[in-house]
């Protein structure tokens, strides 16, 4: 595969026009949309209008006239189209961590209502730490046990899962990009009597998701990765319709009240998913998120998530093949699944020497991926992590990124590289 071949793929790509919807810095190849999505070109003007006209001129009237009060549901319904949820089932609110606290509390109440002896929250040993920290906190509060396992051992553990109350799993592993079959795993968890919570941080907007089709119980996800909502964008929360009326979530804020503007002193939960709201919605942040979600919905006439997924896999497969061909003299084993169907929209390469400096040297050359340190006590290797967002990533970008990687490795320039360790945190 030559660079000209890649240019030909770009010329024939029906999704190529979507790249114009983003602001991409000149001379930068951005392969870190799995941490922070690119700025949509429409966001600055839309947020400026929200500031200048809606806030500056409309003032408090804009909660009604500009529809600020409806943003959690309006943007939620748009995200629902990307994850297989129905209108009215998903809302935008708070952060991923806060939403996990809400749904894990509800899931534990549901699971233990009929089987109080169930005392285990089961999760992935490689789950993103915030999920584990929230689970640790709730388990400590309720005298339960957080048990960690691996994707390979999960099925066997569920087969003897009479003690498992909740399965908490991130569909696409943030380190390796390994993707679990949601429908199959949910069925196994239900057969074991467990309630499921899916973290869609690396799924929503990256891979086709069908929450209702999988009969999942709860889901959460963030807005700043593939949804392009901006740094720290609000998160979202979903509950299957069979669960929404069963229990209160523990953060019973005024926006989750059945009639928030009645200003009752006693809490009465709103019907359905609205009870998972808490405080006043961040109108400016949700405005930016709505633009980001709209960039994904712009792909619907071109095939939607199925078309984006197909391109994503072609991009990641090209990257894997090019690294093997052009960086063969260096030890960079694939740390992501070889099978395309088991991989999200990222590729991770193991790097046993100088991974941090290699990524620093790449960034200095204008190729932005990210670095993840080895995890645990088993001497796991460091990872070079590359995300492939098909809305704006081109095939020539992949070719040029591997060219830069080969140059960094062949020249040894990575040995002199320096990098700001505080950057690229999620």
CA 293 to CA 83: how far, in whole Å? 12
- Which of 388, 387, 386, 368 shows the shortest CA–CA distance to 315? 388
Whole-number mean pLDDT of the chain?
A: 95
pLDDT in tens, 172-198: 999 999 999 999 999 999 999 999 999
pLDDT in tens, 366-394: 999 999 988 654 556 899 999 999 999 99
Domains of the chain: 3-30+303-416 (3.90.1150.10), 48-297 (3.40.640.10)
CA 424 to CA 372: how far, in whole Å? 10
CA terminus-to-terminus distance, the chain:
32
Based on C-alpha coordinates, what's the Rg of the chain? 22
pLDDT the model gives residue 379: 58
Known binding residues for pyridoxal 5'-phosphate: 96-97, 128-131, 170, 199, 202, 224, 254, 280
Beta sheet of 145-149, edge-to-edge order: 90-92, 236-239, 218-221, 195-199, 164-170, 120-124, 145-149
Determine whether 1 is exposed, middle or buried from the number of CB atoms within 10 Å of its CB (0-12, 13-18, 19+): middle
CA 213 to CA 199: how far, in whole Å? 16
Digit-by-digit pLDDT tens for the chain (426 residues) are: 999 999 999 999 999 999 999 999 999 999 999 999 999 999 999 999 999 999 999 999 999 999 999 999 999 999 999 999 999 999 999 999 999 999 999 999 999 998 999 999 999 999 999 999 999 999 999 999 999 999 999 999 999 999 999 999 999 999 999 999 999 999 999 999 999 999 999 999 999 999 999 999 999 999 999 999 999 999 999 999 999 988 889 999 999 999 999 999 999 999 999 999 999 999 999 999 999 999 999 999 999 999 999 999 999 999 999 999 999 999 999 999 999 999 999 999 999 888 999 999 999 999 999 999 886 545 568 999 999 999 999 999 999 999 999 999 999 999 887 655 444 444
pLDDT the model gives residue 219: 98
pLDDT the model gives residue 242: 96
pLDDT the model gives residue 11: 98
Return phi, psi of residue 307, to 5°. -70, -40
pTM over cut 0.85: yes
Determine whether 301 is exposed, middle or buried from the number of CB atoms within 10 Å of its CB (0-12, 13-18, 19+): exposed
**Tokens 């984006």 label which residue?**
308
Known binding residues: 96-97, 128-131, 170, 199, 202, 224, 254, 280
> Which tokens sit at 223?
């807005």
CA 301 to CA 257: how far, in whole Å? 38
Please identify every residue annotated as catalytic: 128, 199, 224-225, 385
């Amino acid at each position: 595969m030559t660079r000209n071949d890649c240019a030909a793929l770009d010329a024939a790509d029906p999704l190529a026009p979507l790249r114009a919807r983003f602001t991409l810095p000149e001379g930068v190849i951005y392969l870190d949309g799995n941490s922070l999505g690119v700025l949509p070109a429409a966001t600055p003007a839309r947020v400026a209008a929200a500031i200048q006209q809606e806030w500056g001129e409309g003032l408090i009237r804009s909660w009604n006239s500009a529809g600020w009060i409806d943003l959690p549901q309006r943007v939620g319904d748009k995200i629902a189209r990307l994850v297989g949820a129905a209108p009215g089932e998903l809302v935008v609110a708070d952060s991923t961590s806060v939403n996990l606290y809400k749904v894990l509390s509800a899931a534990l109440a549901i699971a233990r209502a009929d089987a109080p002896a169930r005392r285990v929250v089961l999760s992935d040993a490689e789950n993103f730490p915030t999920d584990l920290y929230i689970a640790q906190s709730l388990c400590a509060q309720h005298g339960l046990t957080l048990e960690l396992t691996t994707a390979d051992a999960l099925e066997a553990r569920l087969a003897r899962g009479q003690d498992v109350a909740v399965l908490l799993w991130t569909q696409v592993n943030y380190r390796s990009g390994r993707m679990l079959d949601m429908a199959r795993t949910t069925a196994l968890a239900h057969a074991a009597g467990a309630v499921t919570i899916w973290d869609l941080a690396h799924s929503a907007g990256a891979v086709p998701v069908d929450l209702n089709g999988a009969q999942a119980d709860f889901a959460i996800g963030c807005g700043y990765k593939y949804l392009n909502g901006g740094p720290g964008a609000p998160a979202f929360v979903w509950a299957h319709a069979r669960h929404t009326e069963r229990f209160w979530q523990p953060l019973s804020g005024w926006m989750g009240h059945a009639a928030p503007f009645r200003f009752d002193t006693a809490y009465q939960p709103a019907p359905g998913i609205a009870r998972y709201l808490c405080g006043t919605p961040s109108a400016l942040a949700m405005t930016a998120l709505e633009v980001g979600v709209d960039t994904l919905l712009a792909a619907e006439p071109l095939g939607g998530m199925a078309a984006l997924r197909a391109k994503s896999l072609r991009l990641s497969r090209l990257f894997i093949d090019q690294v093997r061909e052009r960086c063969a003299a260096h030890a960079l084993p694939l740390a992501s699944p070889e099978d395309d169907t088991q991989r999200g929209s990222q590729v991770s390469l193991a790097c046993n020497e100088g991974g941090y400096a290699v990524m620093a040297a790449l960034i200095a050359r204008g190729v932005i991926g990210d670095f993840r340190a080895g995890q645990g006590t088993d001497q796991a290797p460091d990872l070079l992590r590359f995300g492939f967002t098909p809305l704006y990533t081109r095939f020539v970008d992949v070719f040029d990124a591997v060219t830069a990687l080969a140059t960094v490795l062949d020249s040894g320039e990575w040995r002199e590289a320096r990098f700001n360790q505080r950057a690229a945190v999620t």
